[in-house]
Structure 1
Amino acid sequence: MSIVLLCATPRGLVVLRRLRELCPADDLTVCSFREEPWEPPYLEEIRRFSEAHGARFFETKNVSSPKAAEIWQNPIDLVLMVHWRYLVSFPLLRAVRRASVVFHDSLLPAYRGFSPTVWALVNGETRGGVSLIYVAEEVDAGDIIDQWETPLRLEETIADVLPRITEGYVQLLERNLALLWEGRAPRRSQDHSRATYTCKRTPEDNRIVWSEPTSVIWNCIRAVTRPYTGAYTWFEGKRLTVWSAQPLPTPRRYAGRIPGRVVEVRPGEGIWVLTGDGVILLRRVQLEGGPDACAADLIKSITVRLG
């Protein structure tokens, strides 16, 4: 079997490793690209593993360009796309002998587009998962082969959820690889009337708006904490990244409320900050250019207003 894997991020690396275990002798071509400056780097690890395990490796974002023609010069049985965020020529994929498929970390047709797991946490969703779909001309709109579901708990951060999502990728690969090769993989259309979409996020989109409800602020913090760049606010003219926090379940009722105002400093624990409708405890923070620290070690006054 001749396989092309277009992959990136830790999930791409994990799928690559498992794919090589399942198909140790098959012809494998791997393509990946250099990450954005704010993303954890995995390109070189993907490159090293590919080359050490007999796969051809190409670093490219545009596998459809004439410079990438070598990738497609021989007949291909299967194309797998894992966190591949760049368009691929549909005629190239349609020429693949068995199937061209995409792993997408949402329960399609919901959350087509960018960063679906991050957006699911931002929006306070209680369930998420991974879909394995056939490639279609419209992004993330292909027929569904299989899906894997996981609960999303409101106390969880992205660091808690990502390992489960990665396991979902592996399970879908294991359940469907042979079926794809044999031409027996299932196919069911998405209900396009129920489709929702997400736009691209950048680090600048993670600014905390203190006038928002506590739940909205907490969802932002937990969705983009490590391994991502973190939600942020401003303190004394510098960016302050919030790495960990906790909504207070039974906060005091403030009749006089200034969102972003520090109302209590708790040594060894953190600081209480007013939101639009409650109070949130900031535990670990990092001032621009400084180390990760307990918020109470950095901010010591109730005259401080963040933002």
Structure 2
Amino acid sequence: MKCYLFCLGYKGYFVLQELVRLNKLELICGVVSCEDTTQESYFENIKEICLKNNVKFFHKTMLNKIDKNKIAIAIAWRWIIKDFSQVIVMHDSLLPRYRGFNPLVTSLINGDECIGVSILYGINEYDKGDIIAQRKLNISYPITIWEAILKISYLYAELCVEILEKISKGQKILGVPQEQKKATYSLWRDDKDYFIQWKWSSKKIVRFVDAVGFPYDGAKVLFGGNVLRVLRAEIFEDVRVVNRDYGKVIFMDNGCCVVVCKKGLVKLCEVVDMQGKQWNAPKFRIRFE
């Protein structure tokens, strides 16, 4: 039996590239994709690979034209897949940890020493299905979300090829029930969740800036009623501040604001306005809201 791949984003694109490189495209019967306004979707790239290699390509709106007696494998897919004989999901965490939304972002903000991918059976309750296989890798900080995506894309490709080969040989795909008591959840994010919280430690703030950057919307601060985007930040050597008011600028270092956090100091190395124009502090006495 062959499978349909539901592909989105760089991870979906990378898996298809690897299937081309390994001459494994014959293991799939088609690809489903669509545009995604929340981040770069790689829709055109995915479509181009399919057209160049004579792989059936379907937009998300064309599901009525697909044989749903097949298996669907979801790669970075953000929507519920219904009515297929089986649905297999690839998830950016070592389940049962970080069920839910943007788990890779959450793990980087939390400073986890390893990240990973789980492949599991899709069921009605999200990310609770039996685990088929997992891969993990160790990381060190600083690391941006884009660097982490590049790294785990290789894990996605390895797991996808492994499962496709088993399915093509008619092998039974066994899953292991998750340990429910060890489950944790990662919540969805909206616009408010991109603002830096100065009550955090300097280490967490720097991890946050790196974790919500491209292809996400970027870390933000509010000053004078205007939203600014922080593209790059680093830890600055702490000093003894007896009235530690979070969010106040304590120093200027080469034109960059050094801000007081609950623990430590953060240097805002690159700040732009919402139009992408470089922002420079108009004065020394600044409090970021």
What TM-score do the two structures reach when normalised by structure 1?
0.85
Tell me, yes or no, if structure 1 residue 136 matches structure 2 residue 131: no
Identity across the alignment (%): 28
Q: 1:32 aligns to what? A: 33
Tell me, yes or no, if structure 1 residue 71 matches structure 2 residue 66: yes
Deviations 1:241-269 (A, max 9, x none): 11111123x4101002222111111226x
Tell me, yes or no, if structure 1 residue 177 matches structure 2 residue 164: yes
How many positions carry a matched residue from both structures? 287
Tell me, in whole angstroms, the C-alpha distance in 2 between the residues paired with 1:153 and 1:267.
Answer: 27
Contact 2:142 2:207 (8 Å CA) reproduced: no
1:153 equivalent among 136, 140, 159: 140
Question: RMSD over aligned Cα, in angstroms?
Answer: 2.1
Q: CA deviation at 1:26?
A: 5.0
Tell me, in whole angstroms, the C-alpha distance in 2 between the residues paired with 1:290 and 1:236.
Answer: 17
Tell me, in whole angstroms, the C-alpha distance in 2 between the residues paired with 1:71 and 1:199.
Answer: 32
Letter in 2 for 1:12: G
Deviations 1:50-109 (A, max 9, x none): 222212222226xxxxx6221126x52x321101111122xx23x25xxx3211110011
Change (3 A) 1:27 1:207: closer
What TM-score do the two structures reach when normalised by structure 2?
0.90
Q: 1:83 aligns to what? A: 76
Structure 2: tracts of 5 or more residues without a match = none
Structure 1: tracts of 5 or more residues without a match = 62-66
Q: 1:64 aligns to what? A: none
Q: CA deviation at 1:15?
A: 1.1
1:299 equivalent among 278, 281, 284: 281
Q: CA deviation at 1:141?
A: 1.6
Q: CA deviation at 1:43?
A: 1.3
Contact 1:230 1:241 (8 Å CA) reproduced: yes
Contact 2:238 2:265 (8 Å CA) reproduced: yes
Q: CA deviation at 1:144?
A: 1.5
Q: CA deviation at 1:169?
A: 0.5
Q: CA deviation at 1:8?
A: 0.3
Deviations 1:95-129 (A, max 9, x none): 25xxx321111001111111110011122222210
Tell me, yes or no, if structure 1 residue 283 matches structure 2 residue 269: yes
User: In structure 1, the residue corresponding to 2:66 is in which secondary structure?
Assistant: helix
Tell me, yes or no, if structure 1 residue 273 matches structure 2 residue 266: no
Q: 1:8 aligns to what? A: 8
Q: CA deviation at 1:148?
A: 0.7
